[in-house]
């Protein structure tokens, strides 16, 4: 098998740091007296599906103080739930229908670079097409966003409105609605992380059935 030696010393040191970190983790798994970490190889039964931003500052396990095995995770730029995203739909279907998670949290975060970029007219490359989904959310709420003068507050309010929209998008999928027909223990929540404090703020946008979705969206 082809193996390229890392010649650039900075690249090499950076890579070795990753491997050293893993050595530490291997030690922790080995020495875990609860046995929980060793049992992970047997399977998983998480109760939570986390759909969060790809931003490195908002890792699901640390934010919820949970261990590996406790949270099923999907992350992308700006925690979007796009109806035709096969990646998200596959994660959602597996989490809801196989793992039978009880909670789905769409977790946005204040200061989100994706949301901030969507509020500008600058081009950033291929991501502009992804960000258009956030611009759509802005379009629904442009009066409210435009009335906010402070740029930081503008972004943070759109972060909240975007979470609300993505929660709605999730709830309108056939996957979530069919699950609600079969069981009454699935809740979808909209939340925002304040990175400065680590606090996960409940936006009180929670759906446990399709009643609030409206005629066109609620499937028979």
Q: For this structure, is 55 an active site residue?
A: yes
Give the span between the Cα atoms of 72 and 131, in whole angstroms.
Answer: 24
121 catalytic residue (yes or no): no
State in angstroms the smallest separation of the CB of 46 from Zn ion. 22
- Tell me, what DSSP letter sits at residue 210? S
Catalytic residue among 55, 133, 157, 171: 55
Contact between 160 and Zn ion by CB under 5 A: the answer reads: no
- Give the whole-angstrom CA distance, residue 74 versus residue 91: 7
Stretch that binds Zn ion, among 1-9, 95-103, 109-117, 120-128 (CB under 5 A): 109-117
- Angle ∠(63,64,66) on CA atoms, nearest 5: 120
Report how far residue 15's alpha carbon sits from residue 131's, in angstroms, rounded to the nearest whole number: 31
| Catalytic annotation, pick one of 53, 74, 157, 189 | 53
Q: Which stretch binds Zn ion (CB under 5 A): 31-39, 52-60, 179-187, 209-217?
A: 52-60
Is 53 marked active-site?
Answer: yes
Candidate list 81, 112, 157, 171, residue with the active-site label: 112
Closest CB to Zn ion among 112 and 205?
112
In terms of CB distance, is 63 or 96 closer to Zn ion? 63
User: Residue from 46, 55, 80, 171 that binds Zn ion (CB under 5 A)?
Assistant: 55
Q: Where are the beta strands (DSSP E) in the chain?
A: 48-53, 71-76, 103-109, 187-194, 199-207
Q: Which residue has the tokens 């609620």?
A: 218
Based on the residue annotation, tell me whether 141 is a catalytic residue of this protein: no
Q: Does 112 bind Zn ion (CB under 5 A)?
A: yes
- Options 48, 49, 51, 53; binder of Zn ion; rule CB under 5 A: 53
191 and 201 in contact (C-beta within 8 Å)? Answer: yes
d(CA 141, CA 186): 29
Cβ-contact 191, 108 below 8 angstroms: yes
3-state secondary structure of 5: coil
Scanning 112-120, 140-148, 166-174, 202-210 for contacts with Zn ion by CB under 5 A, the matching segment is 112-120
Segment interacting with Zn ion, rule: CB under 5 A, options 31-39, 59-67, 84-92, 104-112: 104-112
Identify whether 132 is a catalytic site residue: no
CA-to-CA distance for 27 and 21, rounded, in angstroms? Answer: 10
Task: Please tell me which residue in 109, 133, 157, 189 is annotated as part of the active site.
Answer: 109
Bridge partners (DSSP) listed for residue 20: none
What residues are labeled active site?
Answer: 53, 55, 57, 109, 112
Binding site for Zn ion (CB under 5 A): 53, 55, 112, 114
């Amino acid at each position: 098998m082809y193996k390229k030696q890392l010649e650039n010393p900075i690249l090499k040191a950076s890579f070795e740091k990753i491997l050293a970190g893993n050595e530490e983790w291997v030690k922790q798994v080995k020495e875990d007296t609860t046995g929980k970490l060793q049992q992970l190889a047997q399977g998983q039964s998480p109760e939570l599906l986390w759909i969060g931003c790809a931003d490195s500052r908002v890792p699901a396990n640390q934010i919820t103080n949970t261990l590996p095995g406790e949270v099923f995770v999907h992350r992308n730029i700006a925690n979007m739930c796009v109806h035709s995203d096969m990646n998200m739909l596959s994660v959602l279907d597996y989490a809801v229908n196989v793992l039978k998670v009880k909670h789905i949290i769409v977790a946005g975060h204040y200061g989100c670079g994706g949301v901030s970029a969507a509020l500008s007219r600058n081009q950033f490359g291929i991501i502009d097409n992804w960000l258009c989904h956030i611009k759509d959310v802005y379009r629904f709420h442009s009066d409210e966003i435009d009335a906010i003068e402070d740029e930081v507050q503008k972004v943070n309010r759109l972060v909240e409105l975007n979470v609300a929209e993505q929660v709605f998008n999730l709830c309108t999928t056939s996957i979530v609605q069919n699950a609600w027909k079969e069981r009454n223990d699935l809740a979808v929540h909209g939340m925002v992380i304040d990175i400065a404090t680590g606090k996960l703020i409940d936006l009180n946008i929670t759906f446990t059935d399709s009643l609030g979705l409206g005629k066109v969206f609620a499937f028979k």
